[in-house]
C-alpha cells in the first residue's frame, strides 16, 4: 500500500462516486479506478461494492478507512515538520471563505499552514462570495475560497482582472425540506416543481443566492424568499421548523445538523451546480506567503 492509493481510497469512500473522487484528487477516473483495483488486489479483498449510481464500503473497507485517514494525516504532519525546518517565514496571511465549503476544511488547512509557518500571523474573514471578491480586489485579502454556479463564472480557472482563480470542485444542488413537505415524496424535482414554495435562502452576497435567483428568473418562475439568513445553521433550523424549503449545495445537506431533513436532487434543463474555487491576488498566486498556502492545496 502506498500513500497515493490511500488518497484514492479515502476520496472514494467519502464521495461514494468515482467521478467526484477523481475530480477531488485531480486524476482521471480510469487512473483512480486502476489505483483502487491495485489496492484491492494487494489486500485480496473488495473494499467497495459498486452499483451504477454509487459505491459503498464493504466491511473490509470500513475497517481500513480509519487507518488510511491516520496514515495520510501522519504523512501530512511529517511533510509539514520538514518544511518548518527549511526556512523561517514571517509575515501575515489574510484569508477569506464562505461557510460549509465541503471539500475544503479551512480549520484543518490553517492548522497545517501554522505547523509549517508558525511565525506567520493569520487573519481569517468569513463572508459571502460577493464580499470576499470585493475584498480581494481592494487588496484587503490575499486568498479567498469562493463559489459560483457551474463552470465559467467567477469560480472558473484563470485570471480576471487582478484576481487569479483555480477551480477545486463542483457539487450538485439539492432541495432540503421537512419530511412532512409534499415535496418529500418525490425522488427528484424540477425548478418548476418549486414554484409557489416559501424559501429560506442566504443574503445576496452568498454565491448560492445568486445561483438560485438566476435559475428561477431564467425560467420565468416566481420565487417567494420569506427568510434571508447569513449562516448555515439558522437556515437548517428554519427548514427543520417547516418555515420554508431551501436549495443548497450538497455539502450543506450532508451536515449533521441537516439530519432528519429530506434531500432531493434537482433535474431538468442545465445541471444545477455549485463550483468552489480558490481565488487570490494575481501577484500572490505563485510567490509569497499566499503562494505557500496554495502549495498545501496542490
- Do 17 and 54 share a structural domain? yes
Q: Are residues 149 and 189 in the same domain?
A: no
Q: With 0-12 CB in 10 A as exposed, 13-18 as middle and 19+ as buried, what is 280?
A: buried
**What value does the mean pLDDT of the chain take?**
85
* pLDDT reading at 225 higher than 90: yes
Is the domain of 228 the same as that of 262?
A: yes
Helix axis angle, 18-25 to 29-43, nearest 10°: 100
One domain for residues 288 and 248: no
pLDDT of residue 269: 63
Q: Based on the fold, state whether residues 211 and 263 are members of the same structural domain.
A: yes
Separation between Cα atoms, residue 107 and residue 183, nearest integer Å: 35
Task: Say what the pLDDT of residue 100 is.
Answer: 77
Q: Identify the domain containing residue 179 by its residue range.
A: 170-274
Residue 291 sits in the same domain as residue 164: yes
Q: What CATH number should be reported for the domain holding residue 63?
A: 1.10.10.10
**CB 200, CB 229: distance < 8 Å:** yes
Band the pLDDT of 271: cuts 50, 70, 90. low
Q: Which residues contact 52 (CB under 8 A, 6 or more apart)?
A: none
201 and 211 inside one domain? yes
Same domain, 73 and 91: no
Q: Tell whether 245 and 287 lie within a shared domain.
A: no
Query: What does the alpha-carbon distance between residue 298 and residue 293 come to, in Å, rounded to a whole number?
Result: 9
Please indicate, yes or no, whether residues 163 and 176 belong to a single structural domain of this protein. Answer: no
Domain at 245, CATH number: 3.40.190.290
Distance set, CA 210 to CA 90, 138, 178, 199 (Å): 38, 22, 24, 14
Answer with the one of 67, 82, 97 that is the final residue of a domain: 82
Q: What is the tally of structural domains in the chain?
A: 3
Residues 127 and 215 in one domain: no
Q: What is the CATH number of the domain that holds 92?
A: 3.40.190.10
Whether this prediction's pTM lies above 0.95 is answered by no
In this predicted structure, which of 13-17, 204-208, 221-225, 233-237 has the lowest mean pLDDT? Answer: 13-17
Q: What is the pLDDT of residues 157-216, one digit of tens each?
A: 344 446 888 888 888 899 999 999 999 999 999 999 999 999 999 999 898 999 999 999
**Residue 281 and residue 163 share a domain:** yes
Q: What is the pLDDT of residue 157?
A: 38
Amino acid at each position: 500500500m502506498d500513500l497515493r492509493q490511500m488518497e484514492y481510497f479515502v476520496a472514494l469512500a467519502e464521495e461514494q462516486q468515482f467521478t467526484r473522487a477523481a475530480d477531488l484528487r485531480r486524476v482521471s477516473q480510469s487512473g483512480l479506478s486502476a489505483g483502487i483495483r491495485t489496492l484491492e488486489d494487494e489486500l485480496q479483498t473488495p473494499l467497495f461494492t459498486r452499483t451504477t449510481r454509487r459505491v459503498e464500503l464493504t466491511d473490509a473497507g470500513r475497517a481500513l478507512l480509519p487507518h488510511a485517514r491516520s496514515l495520510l494525516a501522519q504523512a501530512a504532519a511529517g511533510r509539514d515538520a520538514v518544511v518548518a525546518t527549511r526556512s523561517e517565514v514571517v509575515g501575515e496571511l489574510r484569508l477569506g471563505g464562505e461557510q460549509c465549503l465541503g471539500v475544503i476544511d479551512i480549520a484543518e488547512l490553517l492548522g497545517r499552514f501554522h505547523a509549517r509557518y508558525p511565525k506567520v500571523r493569520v487573519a481569517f474573514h468569513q463572508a459571502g462570495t460577493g464580499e470576499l471578491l470585493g475584498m480581494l480586489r481592494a487588496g484587503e485579502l490575499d486568498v479567498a475560497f469562493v463559489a459560483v454556479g457551474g463552470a465559467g463564472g467567477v469560480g472558473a480557472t484563470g485570471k480576471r482582472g487582478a484576481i487569479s482563480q483555480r477551480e477545486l470542485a463542483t457539487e450538485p444542488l439539492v432541495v432540503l425540506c421537512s419530511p412532512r413537505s409534499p415535496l418529500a415524496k418525490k425522488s427528484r424535482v424540477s425548478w418548476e416543481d418549486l414554484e409557489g414554495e416559501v424559501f429560506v435562502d442566504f443574503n445576496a452576497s452568498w454565491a448560492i443566492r445568486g445561483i438560485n435567483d438566476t435559475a428561477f428568473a431564467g425560467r420565468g418562475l416566481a420565487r417567494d424568499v420569506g427568510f434571508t439568513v447569513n449562516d448555515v445553521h439558522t437556515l437548517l433550523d428554519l427548514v427543520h421548523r417547516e418555515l420554508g424549503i431551501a436549495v443548497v449545495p450538497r455539502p450543506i445537506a450532508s451536515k449533521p445538523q441537516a439530519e432528519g431533513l429530506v434531500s432531493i436532487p434537482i433535474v431538468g434543463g442545465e445541471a444545477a451546480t455549485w463550483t468552489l474555487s480558490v481565488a487570490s491576488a494575481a501577484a500572490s498566486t505563485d510567490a509569497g506567503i499566499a503562494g505557500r498556502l496554495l502549495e498545501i492545496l496542490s
